[in-house]
Structure 1
Amino acid sequence: MTRTEYRWLLPSAMADPELPGDRGGRSRRTVRDWVVDIHAFVCAVLVGMLAVTAIDADRTTSDGVVFVDCLVGAAACCALWVRRRWPVGVAVGLALVCAVEPVAAGALLVALFSVAVHRPFRPAAGVLALTAALSPVQPYLRPDPETSLVESVSVSLLLYLLVLSWGMVVRSRRQLVATLRERARRAETEAELRAEQAQRLAREAIAREMHDVLAHRLTLLSVHAGALEFRPDAPKAEVARAAGVIRDSAHEALQDLREIIGVLRGPGESDGDRPQPTLATLDSLIAESRLAGMKVSVDNRVTDPAATPAATGRTAYRIAQEALTNARKHAPGAEVEVGVAGGPGEGLTVEVRNPAPEGPFERVPGSGQGLIGLRERAALAGGRIDHGPQPDGGFAVRAWLPWPSS
């Protein structure tokens, strides 16, 4: 199953989350399970001992009956150790036993609680109905001289309802926790899918840009090679100049090609010839931002922007463009500082900073996908990028890109 299919199957799987123990089975008890089972067993034994004490206090009951009651009560308490595997069966059996043996009352209460916790409402309601129907049998066969039949049945029904309600509350809480955990896992999966999709789209966009650059360089190479082919009698100086252009174009094309290894182009997409931005066109980007109403200050310390390698300049342009766009969306009216520095051999540094926005404004929601695309661009160019909030409440984007010395 693919991750996309898993994404669409998750909502249906969350409709009725199952809890551990809902299907029974031979799952091993955890330490918590052992602690709960021991406490339940001890409580059932204590209730049974109280019942035996009350029976023994009644002088009309023979010692043989009391001995049988003790044996039945011990067997009922021991049956609780298999209630996790067969909760309904154990509860039904104990309900039948409790109809004639009051010493099994504690074990029956524990079994009812387990049914309410580990089974849905319908089985639990069925067990409760059976227990309620059998509740008058035991006080009728073995009445308590100090309590009437109606009082005994009423107290028994009240205890059964309280225990069942408590178990249903516990089950509801566990289902809520399981649902929240499943939703958290689904949200994490969807976030990973969105991030992967954003990275794929960013890579495809970079690949389309590089395709245009490679097409330009290969066209130039083809033109000069064709000139050499059709003018074999050209002067040596022109032949040498054309050969130099061919060599430089081929070298630059190979450099660009290395940057797009592993980057796929979207099928069926075709972009026309587009002029590619470089570091030299950064001034026009700043001018456009100012025309849009932004306050932008520039500190460009690159002496010859036109000498910047095309791929490096284009990546720097895109980083500044995305950072200015984010500043316009999330800090309108704030003055943005753009700094560019570097040279051959030391690399190119691009830094865009904006302070915290002043006054109330309508915040534009952002997904962070643009920053993911910038990270992809910087990585493909062999550089690195850092971004994040500043102590003064602003935001900064700082990138370093390689600039070969030759």
Structure 2
Amino acid sequence: MSTSSPVPPAEGRAAPWWRRWADTPGTAVAVLAAGFLGLTEVAFSVPSGPDLSVGYAFLGLLLMLVALAAAAALVRRRRYPVAVCLGTAVAGALMPVGALAALIALPWVLATATLRIAAWCTAAVGAAVAASLVRDWRREGDAVMWATTDAATGERMYLTGGGYVAMGAAVLAVAVVVGLVRRFGDAARTARRAAAESEQQAATLRTQAAELRTELTRQEERELIAREMHDTVAHHLSLVSLHAAALEVTADDPGTDVTGSARSMRSSAHRALEEMRVLIASLRTAGDDSADRYAGPAPRLVDLVALIDEARSAGADIGATVFVDGGDDAPPALTRAVYRVVQESLTNAVKHAPGTRVEVDLRARPGDGVDVTVANGLVNDVPDGPGGAGLIGMRERAVALGGRFEAGPRDGRFVVRVHLPWPAATHP
């Protein structure tokens, strides 16, 4: 026979006060009923009369003590259901002390024990009930307990063998049904408690997940703001610095256009302030697209020409090769990333390698993707680390779009290479 995990006993749980008070009268009734039936069976089993021998008197006293002990054991039926059930069943099977105590303890076994133990206890109680009824069936005359006398005729009527079988099967079935109802009720309550605890844990996990998603969203927005601030404002400030450096060197030359250089510096500084103002203003607005909210509309690929010309006008030596096919249909996220990569690469070249020639090579086509290569000469030693915020921002943009990013010294030049996927347009 298969086994299953036992259901926790009822006494192991904290019952409400009204349940504990209700159990006390139930226990008292069970003890009194089992004791009364046990003493009754002892009385019908032991001969009585004035000629009763000492041996029978001692036997009767011993059986009454056993019957009372079996009844008293029901007080502990909740904590030790198997021991109480088997002990009372053995006593009822071997001695005429009744089987009611075993029948009362059996439901607690069925409610708490494994199926294997419950089956053995049921068989033991069945044997005790059968033994008690067989003893009564074999007695004669007034010694038969389950008999009645007709008040009119004085005739004594006895149960038949079938009646004893039916009565034994009925009381055993009642005990088994009560035990199974108790078992399934406890299992249902346990399942409801487990479901409630699981739901509470799930609600806690959902709350924590929502908090983590909110924090991740905030972190992503902070990183986006940092990239946009660095790529836009830093670029214009680098141009201002480049104009100032050129003006400082050539200010005394007769042919130097000081007014034009100052105008260019003012224009670059003004654009930097405008970019800063747009970013700060967008932080106070709401929207669904974080990129548009914090950085404004995405620049187009054709805007790269103005970006390169602006750097040239600031004095940078730039050689550019640009091939773009279908640039007007490029996704905004792609055009923004390409524009920022070229912008940051030019800013780094002007800042770290002033006076060197910068080569920009860009090739973009749907299906083939976008390949950007920016190379400039090396002036100072380049560290072996991961780079500054600009390189980190370019790497993050490439990874976010599923592309590749490489940057580092190569053959005496600092080379930035980026590949961004651009899926081919599909037509139905």
Higher relative CO (CA 8 A, sep ≥ 6), structure 1 or 2?
A: 1
Under a length normalisation based on structure 2, what TM-score does the superposition of the two structures give?
A: 0.47
Q: Which has the larger radius of gyration?
A: 2
Under a length normalisation based on structure 1, what TM-score does the superposition of the two structures give?
A: 0.49
